[in-house]
Amino acid sequence: MGYRGRFAPSPTGPLHAGSLVAALASWLDARAHSGTWLVRIEDVDAPRCIAGMGDHILSQLAALGLASDEVPLVQSQRANVYQQTLQTLIAKGDAYPCQCSRKDILTALEALGRERPRHAELVYPGTCRSRTEKSSGVADSPQPAWRFRIDKTDTLVRWQDRRLGSQQQDVEKLVGDFPLRRADGYATYQLAVVVDDAAQGITHIVRGEDLADNTARQILLQQALNLPTPSYLHTPLVLGANGEKLSKQNGALALETSNPLAELNKAVVALGLHPRVDAPVGVALAAWVQEWQHLYNPAHD
């Protein structure tokens, strides 16, 4: 199968200098492989998304010369597909209902003598693991969340990142059984992203390094669903003045799409490529594709 890559923004705010780095890197990688580049609007977490922001991001991308090769997939229209996949996992015994609140999880961790991590998500201690679908389901109130049951035999996941090198994560230890569907009925990012990457035939994932930590969970889900694992490349993050990932909260300014070359130049510098002065955008993009090819050597992927 030919190369298929994607940029998958969540429409919680406009594209900024940080997210443009991931967008541009995924576009350059697709072009360097003579592949297809898709944009997917990840508005599955509806309460966090802003109406109309998906279209706004698409127009920002287009203004920078980055247009999706196919009609963008919109996750909010795919709730049925996520639900069907959840049913498949339930039928295989790979998912179970959970009604633990955050407080319940904290109490259980305390009882086990495990420290509460300061920043990371809570490691789910498996409280509801022994429940079966019969003991919960529709009659339960409130609706349960559904968690992925991590198979004890393969909790250490290893993968090769094209930029970061060999990676591994013990998902059982560092994350625990993770949510597939939330109690409010929305599919989680982990479930939706795995379902959609497979549905769209994505062969190469290029995204920000802040998402690298999710990769092991996604590989476990791909394996449970008999789906192929794409190749991964996590791009450098652009940091704000406070040293944290650039976001609206720490000073990311809206992109100046009236000056696309200036914005693209900032993004390529973050990627270790050379800025171009006074070149038409199309010429600059073509030059960066060549440079990217050299840097990440797609001929040998």
Task: Note the residues at the interface with ligand GLU (CB under 6 A).
Answer: 8-10, 42, 193, 207, 211
β-bridge pairing 145-148 and 95-98: antiparallel
CA distance 48 to 276: 36
The minimum distance between CB 5 and ligand GLU, in angstroms, equals 10
Element holding 241 (H helix, E strand)? none
The minimum distance between CB 102 and ligand GLU, in angstroms, equals 22
The minimum distance between CB 210 and ligand GLU, in angstroms, equals 7
According to DSSP, residue 16 is labeled B
Q: How far is CA 105 from the centre of its chain?
A: 25
Helix 17-32 and helix 260-270, axial crossing angle in degrees, nearest 10: 80
According to DSSP, residue 278 is labeled S
Our CB check for ligand GLU shows the closer of 7 and 96 to be 7
The minimum distance between CB 8 and ligand GLU, in angstroms, equals 4
Our CB check for ligand GLU shows the closer of 104 and 161 to be 161
Our CB check for ligand GLU shows the closer of 127 and 215 to be 215
Beta bridge partners of 116: none
Our CB check for ligand GLU shows the closer of 9 and 260 to be 9
The minimum distance between CB 72 and ligand GLU, in angstroms, equals 13
CA distance 23 to 33: 16
Asked whether the beta carbons of 95 and 213 are under 8 A apart, the reply is no
Our CB check for ligand GLU shows the closer of 201 and 275 to be 201
